[in-house]
Amino acid sequence: MSLKNHRKILLTGAAGGLGQALRQRLKANCEVLRLSDRVSPGEPAAFEEVVLADLADAAAVSEMVRGVDAIVHMGGMSVEGPFGPILQANILGVYNLYEAARVHGVKRVVFASTNHVTGFYRQSETITADQPARPDGLYGVSKAFGEDLSRFYFDRYGIETACVRIGSSFPEPKDRRMLATWLSFDDLHRLITACLSTPVLGHTIIFGMSDNAVTWWDNAQARHVGYVPQDSSDVFRDAVYARTAAPDLSDPAVQFQGGAFVRTGPFT
């Protein structure tokens, strides 16, 4: 069930893959959905408005945030790459976002973090939010920075944040690794809804996954959020096994939770 706890919600990264998946779903959570990206997400519907902004542009981000009640921050770089663009979008950009939230009095943020914050834990391990970050690349490092920055803005300014370490959010799992990391679009929306509507969010790290039989992540410390996934990768298991080869256990992408990200780069 979706609750309209907020009059106006800002969705950043609205032109991206997950932004597009959330666009129609989030209309159940608010009266007005403000869409933002560097490029146009398309014509706004009657309940939408569009504010274009580059996350590295502090003035543009301030205008993007002005007048909203909560932020669902899906913007920024979502893949490994050279440090320059990651620095601008994911480090400077997230600072600009939180500073704008402070200035404009926004008190709740859902921050799209990533499983790649902990990508160098092994697939034989089950980890909790209390365990130290072990990023598998510069992208993961940037999201670890965002988690720390959001903690600072909660401790000093009272801005509540859910750091959602998104696993693999696609229509269905693409490979064997995703049987553990898969997050359906509907469960992603259920998770965001829970983060927006729980009475006391605080600063919470929560792993973004569906109800998969195989998992490397323990969400016990985020039970106060009230997220209950309803989908599972298990219905895709037979099809995934049929179309993929048995894993090479000497491959770091099979050994570590980050998959192929652990052997991506360096970039010049």
Q: Which residues are catalytic?
A: 139
Is the pLDDT at 15 greater than 90, yes or no?
yes
Which residues, in sequence order, are bridge partners of residue 33? 9, 48
Is the pLDDT at 1 greater than 60, yes or no?
no
Question: Looking at residue 268, what is its pLDDT?
Answer: 62
pLDDT band with cut points at 50, 70 and 90 for residue 264: confident
Question: Which alpha helices (H) appear in 9-57, and where do they start and end?
Answer: 17-26
- Phi, psi values for residue 129, rounded to 5°: -65, -20
Domain boundaries, the chain: 6-263
The CATH-assigned architecture of domain 6-263 is: 3-Layer(aba) Sandwich (3.40)
The C-alpha atoms of residue 113 and residue 52 are separated, in whole angstroms, by 22
Mean pLDDT over 222-241 rounds to: 98
Question: Which alpha helices (H) appear in the chain, and where do they start and end?
Answer: 17-26, 58-65, 83-86, 93-104, 138-157, 178-181, 185-197, 237-243, 252-255
- What is the DSSP secondary structure assignment for residue 251, as one 8-state letter? S
The C-alpha atoms of residue 194 and residue 78 are separated, in whole angstroms, by 23
Angle at 153 between CA 110 and CA 56, to 5 degrees: 70
Which tokens go with 154? Answer: 């909660």
| C-alpha pair distances (Å), 68 with each of 32, 71, 88, 125, 198 | 9, 7, 23, 40, 18
Which residues, in sequence order, are bridge partners of residue 139? none
Mean pLDDT over 225-244 rounds to: 98
Looking at the chain, the whole-number percentage of residues with pLDDT higher than 90 is 96
Question: Looking at residue 267, what is its pLDDT?
Answer: 78
